[in-house]
Structure 1
């Protein structure tokens, strides 16, 4: 499959799946800031946002892209927090944020600078407690990542959020994801993985080509066997999701791969990597608040990704019914887990 690059100069079209991703990203980032600014004694929060595939920041319809979304949420969330803190008699909190914006297209970066200017000016005017520093880069993410890490290390940033919304499926190597997650304790990654790019190579007549396309995930040849028996679209989703999860699962303590709903099929995974259980829980809550936009093929409960896609599992939607199914399954999974651990644990 030939990857489709955005035509930013003529105004890129905002596809529905991107709109859904943006909504989830906006809601999660809002919650992220509320949690990180929640300590009553806190007066300062210092962190960095790295947008590895930033684009030009604005679509043809006028909707903001991820760079503008980050600035909007920073401004509105910080003002909201400080209004509440002032009402409670608490000291106001300041944010110092390094916003690193990279894109492989030089044209996109030049347009991004123009689109960011009014948003940054508005943030300075309406939110004096927000101190934003912006660094623009132009290059393939794998090439510029060492420079990004140098910028973060030199300035001592220990809290970092990466948004890696790639066009395609192989612009970010697994080794890079692992390096990011091990670089610091408080780091999270939002990683987009394009299912359609894999489907184009899912051909029984050419398994070597499929293996080549998946080679960046360091999959063993036997791992592809699960795909051969997947006949229906849902079964394929389950088989592919399990393989990708097993490949990515070693990259971080908490890896949450869920498919983004599209009227024409399940085309994208929006994967969240975190070192903190609390971060994973906030993400999970956001998914349940956007039940019509995300799904997972598998089963509810503790072992939702440990299933055989050929003979079990169903489409798990993050709705009220799905949450109740998860609670019911946990009533069976937790006692079984405790029993296997020896029933009691020493202190």
Structure 2
């Protein structure tokens, strides 16, 4: 599948799948800033945003592209956070952001500059606690990456968000994804690609593994033309999600492998890489606020990729209310098993870190399933008990009340032959 790059100078058309990406990106970035500026003692937050395929800034319909979305949400979040802090009697927080905007098209970069400049002027005049500096590069992303690293290292940025929204084929090396995640203490990546380009890469790089992954669909790794007719099927989504996760799960501690829910089939993938469970938690919650925009096929509890198309019928999870109801049912039995595998108790931080790479569930549903489960209790740092789901904190302990039914099987096996 070959896609033409956007002709920004002539007026780029905004596609439906891009609308979905932009809405999720906008809402996630606002929440990201709200979370990162939450500490009462904090008076300054520094971050850098790298848009590797920035484009011209606005589509032919006038809708903003990702660079302008970032700037709009920076201003909105700065005003919102500081209004809340002022109401609470806290010191206002300064936000300093370095925008690194790259595009291989010189015409796109020049157009982008003209779209960004008035927004920077508006911020300088109306939002004194927000400081936005823009650096522009005009190269392919891989050629620009060493310069991007140099700018980030020069500014000693630790919080870095990359938006890598490619057009069509894979223009980002997987080794670069790994380098980004490993280079910055708080790094996140939004990574867009067409699934056919990943399949083509794996056919050359890992043909036997790909053959095993496609076997349940009756597709040969040597003849992938049949995939075009399968991309609208639910079992294709389940198989593709496993392929995506297995291809990328070693590149970051937390990988969100969900496809954009497109009417013409699951071919566009919007993957989120993060170093912390908190980022994945916020991302899952944003997907539920935007139900039906991304899709998952399989289980909706704590083992989302355990679905086997050869053994059972899976479920299409669209982050909507029916999906959440099913997730809740599975969480009620899945969570005690996770605790049992650790012994009989875990800190909530340990619990989050163990589950968030393998669940699409909303945090509220996870917390409710814990509180409502008669086999579980949540203990506060002071030794008290939690009674409400919305009061559970990362410093709490989740514990089995009665673990008899959850003992590992090896305890029973060890007793065989004893009198």
> What SS does structure 2 have at the residue aligned with 1:251?
coil
Supply the distance in 2 between the matched residues of 1:123 and 1:310 (Cα, whole angstroms).
56
In structure 2, the residue matched to 1:340 is: 341
Quote the Cα distance in structure 2 between the aligned partners of 1:130 and 1:79: 9
Please say if residues 178 and 252 of structure 2, whose CA atoms lie closer than 8 Å, have aligned partners that are also in contact. yes
> Contact (CA 8 Å) 2:95, 2:130: kept in 1 or not?
yes
* Cα displacement (A) at 1:345: 6.8
Quote how far apart the aligned CAs of 1:140 are. Answer: 1.1
Contact 2:2–2:169 (8 Å) recurs in 1: no
Determine the structure 2 residue equivalent to 1:152: 152
Higher RCO structure, 1 or 2 (CA under 8 Å, sep 6+): 1
> What corresponds to 2:137 in structure 1?
137
Q: What whole-Å deviation, never above 9, does each CA across 1:107-133 have from its counterpart, x for those lacking one? A: 111111111111111121221111111
Name the counterpart of 1:33.
Answer: 33
Gaps of 5+ in 2: 219-229, 348-396, 398-419
- Write out per-residue CA displacement over residues 87-124 of structure 1, whole angstroms, 9 at most, x where no aligned residue: 22221111111000011111111111111111111121
TM-score by length of 1: 0.91
Q: Provide structure 1 residue ranges, at least 5 long, that are not aligned to the other structure.
A: 199-209
> Which sits farther off after the overlay, 139-148 or 95-104?
139-148
Task: Tell me how far apart the structure 2 counterparts of residues 65 and 344 of structure 1 sit (CA, whole Å).
Answer: 46
* Deviation of the 1:220 alpha carbon: 5.3
Mark the structure with the bigger radius of gyration: 2
**Superposition TM-score, scaled by structure 2 size:** 0.76
SS of alignment partner, residue 9 of structure 1 = helix
What is the CA RMSD across the aligned residues, in angstroms? 2.0
> 1:154 deviation in Å?
1.5
State the partner residue of 2:296: 296
How many positions carry a matched residue from both structures? 334
The aligned runs of 1:283-322 (5 Å cut-off) are 283-312=283-312, 313-322=314-323
**Equivalent position of 2:128 in the other structure:** 128
Partner Cα separation in structure 2 for residue 272 and residue 15 of structure 1 = 20
1:229 shift after superposition: 3.3
In the alignment, does 2:262 pair up with 1:275? no
Q: Residue 206 of structure 1 corresponds to which residue in structure 2?
A: none
CA distance in 2, matches of 1:296, 1:74: 30
Q: Give CA-to-partner distance per residue, 1:222-274, whole Å, 9 cap, x none.
A: 23322143164222221121011011001111101111122222231111111
1:2-38 Cα shifts (integer Å, max 9, x gaps): 2221011110000111011100000000000111111
Taking the aligned partners of 2:289 and 2:165, their CA distance within structure 1 comes to 21
The alpha-carbon distance between structure 1 residues 25 and 272, as it changes in their structure 2 partners (threshold 3 A), is: same
Q: Distance in 1 between matches of 2:183 and 2:211?
A: 31
Structure 1 CA distance for aligned equivalents of residues 119 and 264 of structure 2: 34
Partner residue, 2:11: 11
2:164 maps to 1:176: no
Instruction: Tell whether 2:222 aligns with 1:221.
Output: no
2: distance between equivalents of 1:306 and 1:278? 23
Give the superposition deviation at 1:339.
3.1
**8 Å CA contact 2:3, 2:169 repeated in 1:** no
